[in-house]
Amino acid sequence: MSFHRSAGRLWVEGVALSEIADRFGTPCYVYSRARLTENWRAYDDAFGARAHRIHYSVKANGSLALLNILHSLGSGFDIVSGGELARALAAGANGSDIIFSGVGKSRQELIDAVTVGVACINVESEAELDRLTEIAAALGRRAPIALRVNPDVDPQTHPYISTGLQGNKFGVSMVEALRLYRKALAVPSLEVRGIACHIGSQMTSLAPISDTVGLIVDLAKALEREGCQLSHLDLGGGLGIRYRDEQPPAITDYVRVLCDVPERFEIHVEPGRSIIGDAGVLLTSIEYLKAMPTKHFAICDAAMTELLRPALYNAWHALELLEPPTADVSSRRYDLVGPVCESADFLAQDRELCLSPGARLAVMNAGAYGFVMASSYNARPRPAEILVDGHSVTEIRPRETIGDLMASERLATARELP
């Protein structure tokens, strides 16, 4: 068990989280290397001998130490920006380990992707196809592409993280896809490699996934009838995890559905949350307890600046005390809120907790879409990140300082442009 309670204290692998809080302060993120590894291997093992490639979605958590561990396991990377390209390369990946998704790739991002030789660019519009055609020709290269299609399947998840419906900005419609594939096939500077899709995140049902697989395979067969041989089908990411009482499918069951794809196609997946989500927690300390006429607030030192998901998606995260409460403290219903000047600044609402000032908590399942969405709003430095591997503890990112926040700023000087 990566996170477990023993003798009243909460542990990650062989280290008590209270010791990490003592040593590095709060708020801070803590990751379990064992859990990260286990999750990635669950995908790899489930595919077994079936031709496949796992491209971890860097946007879920792009910290270099974590990317480097995944690279050493044999993972590829799914990126959505030039910044993530640089991160994947810095973590040890080669261009051929990387696929590039995203609806708004800039000219420079496409130039960089073609130059480093990424394995595939998942094109999301005709305008992007035209831009890439021109860029690859100018560089004297053939750009490997897939079209990201929007299968118009409802992933049955939160509207902000559903991406494969007709009203979403992502991908091209199934109807457009055939015409754009024909167009791409006629362009010498493009090399059509596959089809891509990604219909949403935190999916807890297999039905939309299996519908999507059917639609993508149908499209692949239609393309074959026109003489277009594809080497891979990229079925995206999006498998959910258990935050509260969700019952997401096991990785093995999910992969079994993906393996409905005919053997002649390599299967690509782009999981993010299901690899890093339950491998990380956010530690926080209670600053004040505040009784208001209708509510009790527990004000802690973490905020929407450290973990945006509750404010953005009304997301629910389990809370765990790092140590047993002192005997004289009674349990109450609290809203756990941060110091930021926004009423959306909460980490949890209406939770029965035994708290006293100074108590420390772990916000569970915070590994995905946690640190990556951290901001310095209210001039708050971003938190430290700690990696635990058995009994060993590494600070993989020190806490930002106020100096870091101001380092690149300049005062206005009255100077006219030449």
Ligand X SMILES: *Cc1c(COP(=O)(O)O)cnc(C)c1O
Question: Site residues (CB under 6 A) for ligand X?
Answer: 57, 59-60, 78, 80, 101, 198, 201, 236-239, 270-274, 368
- Distance of closest approach, residue 104 Cβ to ligand X, in angstroms: 12
Residue number closest to ligand X, CB atom: 272
Q: Cα separation of 220 and 214, whole Å?
A: 10
Task: Give CA–CA dist 172/151, Å, rounded.
Answer: 9
Per the CB < 8 A criterion, the answer to whether 93 and 76 are in contact is yes
The CA distances from residue 234 to 195, 258, 271, in Å, are 6, 10, 11
For ligand X, the closer of residues 148 and 360 by Cβ is 148
State the virtual CA torsion across 366, 369, 372, 373 in degrees, nearest 10: -100
28 has catalytic annotation: no
As a whole number of angstroms, the distance between CA 313 and CA 340 comes to 17
Nearer to ligand X, 151 or 238 (CB): 238
Full DSSP string of 77-141: EEESSHHHHHHHHHTT--GGGEEE--TT--HHHHHHHHHHT-SEEEE-SHHHHHHHHHHHHHHT-
Q: Cα 162 vs. chain centroid, distance in angstroms?
A: 14
C-beta closer to ligand X: residue 76 or 272: 272
Q: How far is the CB of 229 from ligand X (least distance, A)?
A: 24
CA of 194: how far to CAs of 145, 243, 378, in Å? 7, 34, 45
Q: Give phi and psi for 374, each to the nearest 5.
A: -65, 145
The secondary structure of residue 364, as a DSSP letter, is -
* E-strand stretches of 179-303: 190-196, 232-234, 266-269, 280-291, 296-300
Pick between residue 80 and residue 192 the one whose CB is nearest to ligand X: 80
Residue 101 CB, shortest distance to ligand X, in Å, is 4
Integer Rg of the chain from CA: 23
Considering the complex, what minimum distance in angstroms separates the CB of residue 257 from ligand X? Answer: 15
- Annotated catalytic residue, options 197, 228, 341, 354: 341
**∠ Cα 161 269 261 (to 5°):** 115
Which segments of 142-270 does DSSP mark as H helices, in order?
A: 174-185, 207-225, 251-258
Closer residue to ligand X in complex, CB, 37/284: 37
Task: Map tokens 């595919």 to a residue.
Answer: 47
Minimum separation from the CB atom of position 124 to ligand X (A): 9
Closest distance to ligand X from the beta carbon of 382 (Å): 20
Output the smallest distance, CB 316 to ligand X, in A.
16
* CB of 194 or CB of 338, closer to ligand X: 194
Q: Is 270 or 345 the residue whose CB approaches ligand X more closely?
A: 270
Q: Are 76 and 397 in contact (CB under 8 A)?
A: no
User: Which residues form the catalytic set?
Assistant: 341
